[in-house]
Amino acid sequence: MTDELSRWQDLVSEMHAAVWEEAPLHELTLGVIDHLGDGRTAAHGPWSAQECQSVLIPWCEAGWIEVIADVEPPWSLASAEWRPRATRQGEFLTLSTDDAAALLNDAARWVLGTADGHAMLSPTHEGQAHEYPEWLELAAKANDSA
């Protein structure tokens, strides 16, 4: 396996985990360090916003992910322009499909301390119906056609 293929598979794996963990957008490019015990670690990323988008946008277009936000964030954030159009579901707001796509397409908005940056990824019911190999295949198809 080439280093480039290994990096891409790691990106897809970590973006998939970010969806299931409902990670905020401002964290996506940072990468992750796994602590394996006995002082051993495994580094994942960091990735460029464009790399993250290459995986997330096809999943969004397929209806497998959505973008959510806290109804009442525990910190003070300026209101986002999408907030009035979002649908409340319990403790979360779900951005409209158009607003989610616009936010995912504009990584300059994924800034810590902003409502956009604190918006979180989440799997949809449709996305939950698919196993990880299908998520990987969808990302691969989208990147092969790019």
* pLDDT recorded at residue 69: 96
CA 105 to chain centre: 11
**Range of lowest pLDDT (10-19, 44-53, 75-84, 90-99):** 75-84
Mean predicted lDDT score pLDDT of the chain: 93
Confidence of residue 46 (pLDDT cuts 50, 70, 90): very high
The band of 51, judged by pLDDT with boundaries at 50, 70 and 90, is very high
Confidence at residue 144, expressed as pLDDT on a 0 to 100 scale: 85
d(CA 129, CA 93): 22
**pLDDT of 90 higher than 90:** yes
- Domain ranges (residues) in the chain: 3-145
At 99-146, the pLDDT tens digits run: 999 999 999 999 998 999 999 999 999 999 999 999 999 999 988 865
Alpha helices in the chain (DSSP H): 3-20, 49-61, 97-105, 115-118, 125-128, 132-145
Provide the pLDDT for residue 30. 94
The answer to whether the beta carbons of residues 33 and 109 sit under 8 Å apart is no
Instruction: For the chain, give the percent of residues with pLDDT over 70.
Output: 97
State the average pLDDT over residues 89-98: 96
3-state secondary structure of 23: coil
